[in-house]
Structure 1
Amino acid sequence: MKDLGFRRAAPALAVFAAVRLLGLTVLAVWGAAVGSSPHTLLSARWDSLWYARIAAEGYGYEVVLPNGDVHSNLAFFPLLPWLERVVSAATGLSYGSAGLVVSVVAGLAAAWGIFAVADLVHGRRAGLFAVALWAALPVGIVQSMAYSESLFTALAAWALYGALRGRWLTAGLLAAGAGLTRPVGAAVVAAVWVAAVLARRRGERSWRTVAGALLAPAGAAAYVLWVGARTGGGLLGYLDVQGGWGNGFDGGWAFARFVGAKLASSAFLAGVGLVAGVVLVLWLYGKCVRQRQPVPLLVYCGIVVALALCASGYFGSKPRLLLPAFPLMLPPAVALARRRTGRAVSVVGALAVASAVYGAFWLNGSGPP
């Protein structure tokens, strides 16, 4: 059994912290140059405001748009605002600032979990590079925001690790937590279920396998049922709430039309970039399959990718929605692990710098929806 104590994971956690600190430093310098507040950008804009309002007031707030669409805060799952409330009560921080604290801790936990999975599957060196690549993603700055991506990825990674190691109660509980964090928690549930089925086919008949599988969907089911009861919409109540935001699953048709419109306009290069990004994601997933990653990882990653690319709303959020798909980092991490250290570090360093610059540009521009 691999030692997953702090000493083994420390280099990966140090790399993650260094990449994130670089991103925050560049954001601070950029903010000083243009007169923006990094703290506001990270904790008090976009979804961060919705989470903070839930932490302060609970559910029930909504905005009615001129076209009649209703943006209800019921669309946001409760675990992050619950944690913001706890941290705020313990420290006296504002809810937005408490969200930043949660993201810092959750980011380190996510990095540790990604390292644990990659170390288990491909070895320690690949685990280190998987964490480095995840931290240096173009939209990696979201990992430092008062958003739920870091928290969800931490719960997902450790749930997957638990499932791969046969720790069924841990996997089930963490999957339930993931289901209280984001709608894509369904991907974690599916992965735990697949792992449990495979374990039983191998002859494992422990009651813990069944218990973990039953626990896994408890978080998401509880919240969705509660929303349905609150709205009077029954089992479809949460889908109605998401529909008010223009969100749905149409197999990618709306996104394809959006890309097509870009290609047919003066924003042709942006359209080409979108096509290239989708091709890269699908290519990486194909590499995951050819790499023979464990089936639970493939199921989890496949569902995250499908939900991100095939959702019908908020096209600018798709890169952010792909952040939890960390198994996509394993093929390039293995490739870097086979390179000489100097060359591999140079690649990661260049990506980290590019990520930091893009993150500062992004948050001071359109920013994440």
Structure 2
Amino acid sequence: MTDLETRAAADRPGALRRAAPALLGYAAVRALGLAALALWSAARDKSAYTLLTARWDSLWYTRVAELGYGYEVRLPNGDVHSNLAFFPLLPWLERLGAAAGPLSYADAGFAVSLLASLAAAWGIFAVAEHAYGRDGEGAGRGLGRAVPGDGRVGTWAVLLWAVLPVGIVQSMAYSESLFTALAAWSLYAVLTGRWVAAGTLAALAGLTRPVGLAVAAAVWAAAITAFVRNRSGTAAHGALSAPRAPGGGARCALGMLLAPLGAAGYVLWVGHRTGRGPLGYLDVQAGWRNGFDGGVAFARFVAAKFTSFPAALAGVGLIVGVALLLWLYVVCVRQRQPLALLVYSGIVTALALCASSYFGSKPRLLLPAFPLLLPPALALARLRTSRSVLVVAGVAVASAGYGAFWLNGSGPP
């Protein structure tokens, strides 16, 4: 399939029809998770809706939507929690939703997350279908066995994203679903040569979360590769492949220019507001005890688990989990995923693992790294459908129970 044919495929009336099984399956998994949360919360005399919309980070987002920036909490130990740490796109949408109808800011945030999660699921399907080939071609060539060509890889990728242990966050008034939707569709625009759309969506992703720079980096990496291909006239394959820039290099350059504007613009605005210049946002994050230390704090956190036997089991689990993530990334490289996906998932994973932030949030920070799910999705697509359904259904039930337990805990996700 040529680049132009691939780009046109998403515009055909059949695009939504192809994604429909994935979207229906995604909705079913999320409904199961919400039902489990409702039952668990009722048993503990808590409100499931409050847990989803009015606790932890969701409260900070609604305060930004209602009051704007400038709110902060000073803790007894001297730490300062400022709402400048929270990027503005979700609060803007909450304010828009509340102004357009009878919804509260929290209600609007919940509605945005629900809609964005469906958009993210569709984007993940589109990326997987393109990367592994709707017609059996694509990044999966050369793996020794044929890649299913009926969209099953995309469907299983979406379902795996839905059944992640922290998948309940996709239904919370948090920014993960919104960010993943923007990131997925930006990456799809990169893969199909829509450079201006890719840059615009990357800029919006940068207004959603700090890790939006990972989307911008993916756009830049693919655009530079496309520019080199145009200049050299040579073909590239696998992880180094990128669509040739349509309309010469002008659209490609414009996409590159747009991509980092969201994140850079907000960080510079915070620096101006705090009077600290480019370091202002880092100071705000330091007030939350967030930073990037190359994983030193996380390594110490894991090592501390081995001081007692019950905690040592958790330490072993963390080590296995990190090893699994790294192995999945290696598999993505070996399967020759497009460069944009490798850059994006690599940066998201590195930032999540190497940040010195609240360690309980690391699984949530990894939620947008959906390209890591494409290799197991390919494995499920090669199995008999009945076996794959049993595997995913079992994981979905376990995920629903874990999400209900996790969200009813004392700490923020």
TM bin (shorter chain)? over 0.9
Instruction: Pick one of 17, 20, 30 that aligns with 1:10.
Output: 20
Instruction: Pick one of 107, 129, 136 that aligns with 1:97.
Output: 107
SS in 1 for 2:302: helix
Per-residue displacement from partner, 1:50-72 (whole Å, max 9, x unpaired)?
00000000000001111111110
Q: CA deviation at 1:367?
A: 4.6
Match runs of 1:231-246 below 5 Å: 231-246=274-289
SS in 1 for 2:55: coil
Identify the residue that residue 127 of structure 1 maps to in structure 2.
154
- 2:211 pairs with 1:184: yes
Instruction: Pick one of 356, 359, 362 that aligns with 1:315.
Output: 359
Instruction: Pick one of 53, 56, 65 that aligns with 1:43.
Output: 53
CA distance in 2, matches of 1:121, 1:366: 40
Q: CA deviation at 1:206?
A: 2.8
CA distance in 1, matches of 2:412, 2:341: 27
> Size of the alignment, in residue pairs?
369
Match runs of 1:220-235 below 5 Å: 220-235=263-278
The 1:162–1:190 alpha-carbon spacing in structure 2 relative to 1, beyond 3 Å, is same
SS in 2 for 1:202: helix
Identify the residue that residue 73 of structure 1 maps to in structure 2.
83
CA distance in 2, matches of 1:144, 1:236: 33
CA distance in 2, matches of 1:97, 1:271: 38
CA distance in 1, matches of 2:308, 2:57: 30
CA distance in 2, matches of 1:92, 1:362: 31
Match runs of 1:119-268 below 5 Å: 119-122=129-132, 123=134, 124-203=151-230, 204=245, 205-266=248-309, 267-268=311-312
Identify the residue that residue 43 of structure 2 maps to in structure 1.
33
Please say if residues 43 and 99 of structure 1, whose CA atoms lie closer than 8 Å, have aligned partners that are also in contact: yes
Q: CA deviation at 1:91?
A: 2.1
Per-residue displacement from partner, 1:84-107 (whole Å, max 9, x unpaired)?
111111122111111100000000
The 1:367–1:9 alpha-carbon spacing in structure 2 relative to 1, beyond 3 Å, is farther
Unaligned 5+ segments in structure 2 are 135-150, 231-244
Identify the residue that residue 345 of structure 1 maps to in structure 2.
389
Q: CA deviation at 1:164?
A: 0.9
Please say if residues 320 and 368 of structure 1, whose CA atoms lie closer than 8 Å, have aligned partners that are also in contact: no
Identify the residue that residue 336 of structure 2 maps to in structure 1.
292
Please say if residues 175 and 216 of structure 1, whose CA atoms lie closer than 8 Å, have aligned partners that are also in contact: yes
CA distance in 2, matches of 1:290, 1:368: 36
Please say if residues 115 and 127 of structure 1, whose CA atoms lie closer than 8 Å, have aligned partners that are also in contact: yes
SS in 1 for 2:293: coil
**Structure 1 residues 87-96 or 65-74, which shifts more?**
87-96
CA distance in 2, matches of 1:17, 1:313: 31
The 1:291–1:368 alpha-carbon spacing in structure 2 relative to 1, beyond 3 Å, is farther
Q: CA deviation at 1:368?
A: 3.2
Q: CA deviation at 1:313?
A: 1.6
SS in 1 for 2:73: strand
Amino acid at match of 1:233: R
Q: CA deviation at 1:287?
A: 1.0
The 1:289–1:366 alpha-carbon spacing in structure 2 relative to 1, beyond 3 Å, is farther
Identify the residue that residue 275 of structure 1 maps to in structure 2.
319
Per-residue displacement from partner, 1:183-228 (whole Å, max 9, x unpaired)?
0001000000001001111114331000000000111111011100
Per-residue displacement from partner, 1:74-125 (whole Å, max 9, x unpaired)?
0000000000111111122111111100000000000000000000011311
**Structure 1 residues 94-103 or 270-279, which shifts more?**
270-279
Flag the structure with larger Rg.
2
CA distance in 1, matches of 2:220, 2:285: 26
**Structure 1 residues 151-160 or 116-125, which shifts more?**
116-125
Relative to the length of structure 1, the TM-score reads 0.98
Relative to the length of structure 2, the TM-score reads 0.88
Please say if residues 149 and 323 of structure 1, whose CA atoms lie closer than 8 Å, have aligned partners that are also in contact: yes
CA distance in 2, matches of 1:279, 1:168: 34
Unaligned 5+ segments in structure 1 are none
SS in 2 for 1:182: coil
CA distance in 2, matches of 1:290, 1:366: 41
CA distance in 2, matches of 1:227, 1:99: 23
Seq. identity, %:
71
